[in-house]
Amino acid sequence: MNGKGEMTQAQAPRTEVGGGSGLDTGDYRSIWMYLKELEFHQGFIDVSVNGANVQTRYAEAGDPAKPHAILLHGTGGHWETFAPNLAALSEHFHCVAIDMVGNGFSDKPDYDYEIAVYVEHVLGVMDHFGMKSTSFVAMSLGAFVASAVSVGHPDRVDKVILMSPAGREASASNMARIRAERTKAVNEPTWESLHAVFAHLIADEANRLPDLIGLRQSIYRRADTRNTIDRLLILQDEKVRHRNLIPDDKWRGITAPVMIVASGKDHGVYQDTARTIADLIPNSEVFEMPSVRHWPHFEDPGSFNTAAVEFLTR
């Protein structure tokens, strides 16, 4: 899609369905197959960040009279990461999944995207939808942001699910990996370079759906993505990362109930963070998902959705 939400031609390799194609059509999956029976709305809203409007892409599902849930993706992501979860969650919650400022198909203003910027953006989305408080379902960068909201604005947080959590550690090797992968993918947005990004996000090749690679490729081919990639990756700078980290006493001060997903095949820094913050946050619990990597909710939505609904509705 372009910046106005209009469909553009997908940039993906041609695959013929049928004999000899190598495509398993017995259990065909795609983003749309997850959404095909869901009543939802995609649109764009203006949200004030740093004194100017940021056109923000979102997907909304569920009755607005129900308790609210905000869904937050990871670095360079977009709302479709939650396509396998929206149907299950929206039975119980008014769900809004967004492309955070500087990410996906939302506006990418020319300033660094540090955690305070993301927090301001998320609070603005909540205000737009009339959410006095909400639960968060958040992964990686999104988990960092949701945790920061929980620390700074506890009155606006009901419950939190953190997947592949970040915000406590600054691993030089992990930051270098992310910067190298994403910079290469933006400078050379080939199918192969984008596939390499997802190899670190999703353990099983069968779960690296072409839809995901095609969406990310279309984002990374955008001029605004190329022009602001350094702004997006600012949190991979060691000095900047350190000044954004949440100190241990702040983790201990989180009052909302928190479910932390422990992904058994994720990178070590995220596994370490998950275990450590589970010990720090007073009202927390760990949900073990040993066979998945960085996107547990996408790799095994059946297990995740059941646990998430049980926790959030408890």
pLDDT in tens, 294-307: 999 999 999 999 99
Q: What is the mean pLDDT of residues 89-117?
A: 98
pLDDT of residue 26: 66
- In the chain, the percentage of residues whose pLDDT exceeds 90 is 86
State yes or no: pLDDT of 7 exceeds 60.
no
Residue in this structure with the two tokens 């949190």, named with its chain if needed: 235
For the chain, the distance separating the N- and C-terminal CA atoms, rounded to the nearest angstrom, is 38
pLDDT of residue 133: 98
Which neighbouring-strand residues pair with 139?
Answer: 163
What is the count of structural domains for the chain? 1
pLDDT of residue 27: 78
Residue 121 in domain: yes
Residue 9 in domain: no
Question: Can you say how many angstroms the Cα of residue 303 is from the centroid of all Cα atoms in its chain?
Answer: 18
Residue 309 in domain: yes
Residue 238 in domain: no
pLDDT of residue 125: 98
Is the pTM of the predicted complex or chain greater than 0.75?
Answer: yes
Residue 144 in domain: yes
Residue 209 in domain: no
Spatial separation of the C-alpha atoms in residues 100 and 104, rounded to whole Å: 7
Range of the domain at 92: 35-170+245-313
CATH of the domain at 126: 3.40.50.1820
The CA–CA distances, whole Å, from 173 to 85, 233, 269 equal 31, 14, 10
Spatial separation of the C-alpha atoms in residues 50 and 4, rounded to whole Å: 22
Residue 205 in domain: no
Per-residue pLDDT of 110-167, as tens digits, reads 999 999 999 999 999 999 999 999 999 999 999 999 999 999 999 999 999 999 999 9
pLDDT of residue 23: 55
Residue 19 in domain: no
Lowest mean pLDDT: which of 111-115, 190-194, 286-290? 190-194
